[in-house]
């Protein structure tokens, strides 16, 4: 996974397929160190992590627990780009649970333009 910050404060969470990309936790830590508000935009559902091992899930949970306060302070929300495949109800339920755990809104958009408009609204809301 790669955090693409070229359009900051829109930060795109992208599958890059590269084995040499920095760990997502390290990338997110650097993003939080900026101390500025941002919105995450992704094209995969928040619950789509079936391939993770129990140890990876535990490490990720501990990481998010450690950065929870900074994440809530700086991340205004996450937007999932659905494209032409609406997110299944199970994915929306997972998103609601993730939103509650992370302390920020998770929205769904049809495309990148709609996601950018939603992000602008989230960034202007506080």
The Cβ-side half-sphere exposure at 73, using a 13 Å CA radius, reads 10
Tens digit of pLDDT for each residue in 60-94?
889 989 999 999 999 999 999 998 888 888 888 98
Number of domains the chain contains: 1
Burial class (CB in 10 A: 0-12, 13-18, 19+), 57: exposed
Give the whole-angstrom CA distance, residue 10 versus residue 123.
9
Domain that holds residue 117: 2-124
pTM of the model: 0.84
Q: Provide, rounded to the nearest whole percent, the portion of the chain with pLDDT above 70.
A: 88
């Amino acid at each position: 996974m790669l955090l693409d910050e070229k359009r900051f404060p829109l930060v795109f969470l992208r599958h890059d397929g590269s084995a040499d990309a920095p760990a997502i936790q390290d990338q997110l830590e650097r993003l939080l160190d900026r101390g500025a508000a941002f919105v995450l935009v992704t094209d995969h559902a928040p619950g789509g992590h079936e391939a993770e091992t129990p140890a990876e899930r535990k490490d990720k949970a501990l990481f998010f627990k450690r950065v929870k306060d900074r994440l809530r302070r700086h991340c205004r929300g996450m937007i999932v780009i659905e494209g032409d495949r609406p997110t299944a109800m199970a994915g929306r339920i997972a998103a609601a649970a993730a939103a509650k755990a992370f302390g920020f809104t998770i929205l769904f958009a049809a495309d990148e333009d709609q996601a950018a408009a939603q992000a602008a609204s989230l960034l202007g809301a506080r």
